[in-house]
Protein backbone atom coordinates (compact mmCIF):
# COMPACT_ATOMS: atom_id res chain seq x y z
CA UNK A 1 0.00 0.00 0.00
CA UNK A 2 2.87 2.35 0.81
CA UNK A 3 4.47 1.62 -2.57
CA UNK A 4 1.23 2.49 -4.38
CA UNK A 5 1.02 5.76 -2.44
CA UNK A 6 4.62 6.58 -3.27
CA UNK A 7 4.01 5.96 -6.97
CA UNK A 8 0.94 8.18 -6.85
CA UNK A 9 3.03 10.90 -5.24
CA UNK A 10 5.59 10.67 -8.04
CA UNK A 11 3.12 11.04 -10.91
CA UNK A 12 2.87 14.87 -10.86
CA UNK A 13 6.65 15.13 -10.97
CA UNK A 14 6.84 12.68 -13.86
CA UNK A 15 4.21 14.66 -15.77
CA UNK A 16 6.08 17.93 -15.30
CA UNK A 17 9.35 16.32 -16.30
CA UNK A 18 7.75 14.98 -19.48
CA UNK A 19 6.26 18.40 -20.26
CA UNK A 20 9.67 20.07 -20.05
CA UNK A 21 11.31 17.27 -22.04
CA UNK A 22 8.58 17.55 -24.70
CA UNK A 23 9.14 21.31 -25.09
CA UNK A 24 12.88 20.70 -25.34
CA UNK A 25 12.60 17.94 -27.96
CA UNK A 26 9.98 19.74 -30.05
CA UNK A 27 11.99 22.96 -30.17
CA UNK A 28 15.18 21.06 -30.98
CA UNK A 29 13.79 19.00 -33.88
CA UNK A 30 11.95 22.02 -35.30
CA UNK A 31 15.02 24.25 -35.26
CA UNK A 32 17.04 21.51 -36.96
CA UNK A 33 14.54 21.32 -39.82
CA UNK A 34 14.40 25.08 -40.44
CA UNK A 35 18.04 25.97 -39.68
CA UNK A 36 19.03 26.18 -43.35
CA UNK A 37 16.92 29.29 -43.97
CA UNK A 38 18.64 32.62 -43.33
CA UNK A 39 16.40 35.54 -42.47
CA UNK A 40 16.35 38.99 -40.92
CA UNK A 41 14.58 39.89 -37.68
CA UNK A 42 14.09 43.60 -37.06
CA UNK A 43 13.57 44.44 -33.38
CA UNK A 44 13.56 48.18 -33.96
CA UNK A 45 16.94 48.92 -32.41
CA UNK A 46 18.80 46.34 -34.50
CA UNK A 47 18.22 44.10 -37.52
CA UNK A 48 19.55 40.59 -36.98
CA UNK A 49 20.75 38.21 -39.69
CA UNK A 50 19.89 34.76 -38.37
CA UNK A 51 19.28 31.17 -39.16
CA UNK A 52 15.56 30.45 -38.79
CA UNK A 53 16.53 27.79 -36.27
CA UNK A 54 17.47 30.57 -33.84
CA UNK A 55 13.79 31.39 -33.28
CA UNK A 56 12.75 28.24 -31.34
CA UNK A 57 16.25 27.26 -30.13
CA UNK A 58 16.37 29.47 -26.99
CA UNK A 59 13.52 27.37 -25.62
CA UNK A 60 15.88 24.41 -25.41
CA UNK A 61 18.18 26.28 -23.02
CA UNK A 62 15.28 27.50 -20.89
CA UNK A 63 14.05 23.90 -20.68
CA UNK A 64 17.46 22.48 -19.71
CA UNK A 65 17.93 25.20 -17.09
CA UNK A 66 14.55 24.34 -15.56
CA UNK A 67 15.37 20.63 -15.72
CA UNK A 68 18.73 21.27 -14.07
CA UNK A 69 17.18 23.39 -11.33
CA UNK A 70 14.28 21.06 -10.55
CA UNK A 71 15.57 17.59 -11.36
CA UNK A 72 19.34 17.85 -11.18
CA UNK A 73 22.24 17.51 -13.57
CA UNK A 74 21.85 13.78 -14.19
CA UNK A 75 18.27 13.97 -15.48
CA UNK A 76 18.98 17.13 -17.48
CA UNK A 77 21.83 15.33 -19.24
CA UNK A 78 19.51 12.41 -20.03
CA UNK A 79 17.16 14.79 -21.82
CA UNK A 80 20.12 16.21 -23.77
CA UNK A 81 20.97 12.68 -24.93
CA UNK A 82 17.30 12.09 -25.79
CA UNK A 83 17.48 15.19 -27.99
CA UNK A 84 20.45 13.73 -29.81
CA UNK A 85 18.53 10.49 -30.45
CA UNK A 86 15.50 12.47 -31.68
CA UNK A 87 17.73 14.42 -34.10
CA UNK A 88 19.25 11.21 -35.48
CA UNK A 89 15.76 9.75 -35.90
CA UNK A 90 14.62 12.88 -37.80
CA UNK A 91 17.68 12.62 -40.04
CA UNK A 92 16.95 8.97 -40.84
CA UNK A 93 13.24 9.67 -41.43
CA UNK A 94 14.08 12.44 -43.93
CA UNK A 95 16.53 10.15 -45.72
CA UNK A 96 13.95 7.33 -45.85
CA UNK A 97 11.32 9.64 -47.34
CA UNK A 98 13.73 10.51 -50.13
CA UNK A 99 14.25 6.86 -51.11
CA UNK A 100 10.76 6.47 -52.57
CA UNK A 101 9.23 8.31 -55.51
CA UNK A 102 6.08 10.40 -55.21
CA UNK A 103 3.26 8.97 -57.28
CA UNK A 104 2.13 10.92 -60.34
CA UNK A 105 -0.39 13.63 -59.54
CA UNK A 106 0.41 13.55 -55.83
CA UNK A 107 -1.16 16.61 -54.12
CA UNK A 108 1.72 16.67 -51.67
CA UNK A 109 5.45 17.04 -52.30
CA UNK A 110 6.90 16.02 -55.63
CA UNK A 111 10.35 14.43 -55.61
CA UNK A 112 11.88 17.76 -56.65
CA UNK A 113 9.98 19.75 -54.01
CA UNK A 114 10.87 17.26 -51.28
CA UNK A 115 14.56 17.47 -52.20
CA UNK A 116 14.40 21.27 -52.37
CA UNK A 117 12.72 21.57 -48.97
CA UNK A 118 14.56 18.85 -47.07
CA UNK A 119 17.71 18.43 -49.14
CA UNK A 120 19.68 20.73 -46.85
CA UNK A 121 18.31 19.17 -43.66
CA UNK A 122 21.02 16.48 -43.26
CA UNK A 123 23.80 19.08 -43.23
CA UNK A 124 21.72 21.36 -40.98
CA UNK A 125 20.98 18.54 -38.54
CA UNK A 126 24.62 17.39 -38.57
CA UNK A 127 25.74 20.94 -37.84
CA UNK A 128 23.13 21.33 -35.14
CA UNK A 129 23.99 18.02 -33.47
CA UNK A 130 27.69 18.88 -33.38
CA UNK A 131 27.02 22.23 -31.76
CA UNK A 132 24.11 20.96 -29.71
CA UNK A 133 25.86 18.21 -27.77
CA UNK A 134 28.83 20.39 -26.84
CA UNK A 135 26.80 23.51 -25.99
CA UNK A 136 24.01 21.80 -24.07
CA UNK A 137 26.35 19.76 -21.87
CA UNK A 138 28.38 22.91 -21.27
CA UNK A 139 25.18 24.76 -20.32
CA UNK A 140 24.23 22.09 -17.77
CA UNK A 141 27.77 22.00 -16.34
CA UNK A 142 28.02 25.80 -16.06
CA UNK A 143 24.54 26.02 -14.55
CA UNK A 144 25.53 23.71 -11.70
CA UNK A 145 28.91 25.41 -11.35
CA UNK A 146 27.20 28.75 -10.67
CA UNK A 147 24.58 27.09 -8.48
CA UNK A 148 27.28 25.55 -6.29
CA UNK A 149 29.36 28.74 -6.26
CA UNK A 150 26.40 30.84 -5.05
CA UNK A 151 25.07 28.18 -2.65
CA UNK A 152 21.82 27.94 -4.56
CA UNK A 153 21.16 31.69 -4.58
CA UNK A 154 20.76 34.10 -7.51
CA UNK A 155 18.65 32.13 -9.99
CA UNK A 156 19.16 34.88 -12.58
CA UNK A 157 22.95 34.47 -12.48
CA UNK A 158 23.12 30.76 -13.22
CA UNK A 159 20.31 31.02 -15.77
CA UNK A 160 21.99 33.77 -17.78
CA UNK A 161 25.69 33.07 -17.21
CA UNK A 162 25.39 29.44 -18.28
CA UNK A 163 23.20 30.15 -21.30
CA UNK A 164 25.06 33.18 -22.68
CA UNK A 165 28.44 31.41 -22.64
CA UNK A 166 27.15 28.13 -24.09
CA UNK A 167 25.13 29.97 -26.75
CA UNK A 168 28.30 31.67 -28.02
CA UNK A 169 29.93 28.29 -28.53
CA UNK A 170 26.76 26.89 -30.08
CA UNK A 171 26.46 29.78 -32.55
CA UNK A 172 30.11 29.48 -33.56
CA UNK A 173 29.98 25.75 -34.17
CA UNK A 174 26.64 25.55 -35.98
CA UNK A 175 27.46 28.33 -38.46
CA UNK A 176 30.96 27.00 -39.17
CA UNK A 177 29.70 23.46 -39.83
CA UNK A 178 26.62 24.59 -41.77
CA UNK A 179 28.14 27.25 -44.02
CA UNK A 180 31.89 26.52 -44.20
CA UNK A 181 32.88 26.72 -47.87
CA UNK A 182 29.59 28.36 -48.82
CA UNK A 183 30.18 31.80 -47.27
CA UNK A 184 33.11 34.08 -46.74
CA UNK A 185 34.61 34.26 -43.26
CA UNK A 186 33.31 37.84 -42.93
CA UNK A 187 29.73 36.79 -43.68
CA UNK A 188 29.94 33.89 -41.25
CA UNK A 189 31.40 36.14 -38.56
CA UNK A 190 28.50 38.60 -38.95
CA UNK A 191 25.91 35.83 -38.66
CA UNK A 192 27.69 34.24 -35.67
CA UNK A 193 27.67 37.56 -33.80
CA UNK A 194 24.04 38.29 -34.71
CA UNK A 195 23.02 34.78 -33.74
CA UNK A 196 24.78 34.96 -30.40
CA UNK A 197 23.49 38.47 -29.64
CA UNK A 198 19.93 37.37 -30.43
CA UNK A 199 20.25 34.29 -28.21
CA UNK A 200 21.81 36.34 -25.40
CA UNK A 201 18.88 38.76 -25.53
CA UNK A 202 16.48 35.80 -25.53
CA UNK A 203 18.25 34.41 -22.45
CA UNK A 204 17.86 37.73 -20.63
CA UNK A 205 14.23 38.01 -21.73
CA UNK A 206 13.35 34.50 -20.51
CA UNK A 207 14.68 35.16 -16.97
CA UNK A 208 11.18 36.00 -15.66
CA UNK A 209 9.92 32.78 -17.26
CA UNK A 210 12.70 30.87 -15.51
CA UNK A 211 11.67 32.32 -12.14
CA UNK A 212 7.98 31.68 -12.87
CA UNK A 213 8.64 28.15 -14.08
CA UNK A 214 10.82 27.34 -11.06
CA UNK A 215 8.16 28.68 -8.66
CA UNK A 216 5.33 26.87 -10.44
CA UNK A 217 7.06 23.52 -10.81
CA UNK A 218 8.38 23.53 -7.25
CA UNK A 219 4.80 23.97 -6.03
CA UNK A 220 3.84 20.86 -7.95
CA UNK A 221 6.64 18.72 -6.55
CA UNK A 222 5.35 15.86 -4.39
CA UNK A 223 5.90 16.51 -0.71
CA UNK A 224 7.84 13.84 1.19
CA UNK A 225 5.66 11.62 3.40
Domain containing residue 186: CATH number = 1.10.1760
Is 207:158 a contact under the CB 8 Å cutoff?
Answer: no
Is 225 a member of any domain?
A: no
How far does Cα 17 stand from its chain's mean position? 16
Do 154 and 66 contact (CB within 8 A), yes or no? no
Whole-number pLDDT of residue 121: 62
Residue 113 CA to residue 119 CA, distance in Å, equals 9
Look up the pTM and report it: 0.73
Residue 101 has pLDDT above 70, yes or no: yes
Residue 117 structural domain: 2-220
pLDDT at 126 over 60: yes
Looking only at the bridges linking them, the beta strands covering 47-51 and 38-42 are: antiparallel
Q: Is residue 6 part of a domain?
A: yes
Listed residue (159, 162, 157) closest to 139, CA to CA? 162
Contacts of 123 (CB under 8 A, 6+ apart): 36, 177, 178
What share of the chain has pLDDT > 70, as a percent?
86
Confidence of residue 22 (pLDDT cuts 50, 70, 90): very high
Least confident of 10-14, 102-106, 115-119, 165-169: 10-14
Domain tally, the chain? 1
Report the chain's mean pLDDT, rounded to a whole number: 78
Give the per-residue pLDDT at 225. Answer: 35
Amino acid sequence: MTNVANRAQERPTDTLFLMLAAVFLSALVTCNLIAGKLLTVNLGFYEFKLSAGALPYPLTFLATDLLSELYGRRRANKVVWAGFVASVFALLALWLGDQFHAFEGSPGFSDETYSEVFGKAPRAISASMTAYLIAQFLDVRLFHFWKTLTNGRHLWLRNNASTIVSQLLDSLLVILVLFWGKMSSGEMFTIILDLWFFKALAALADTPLFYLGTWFFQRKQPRPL
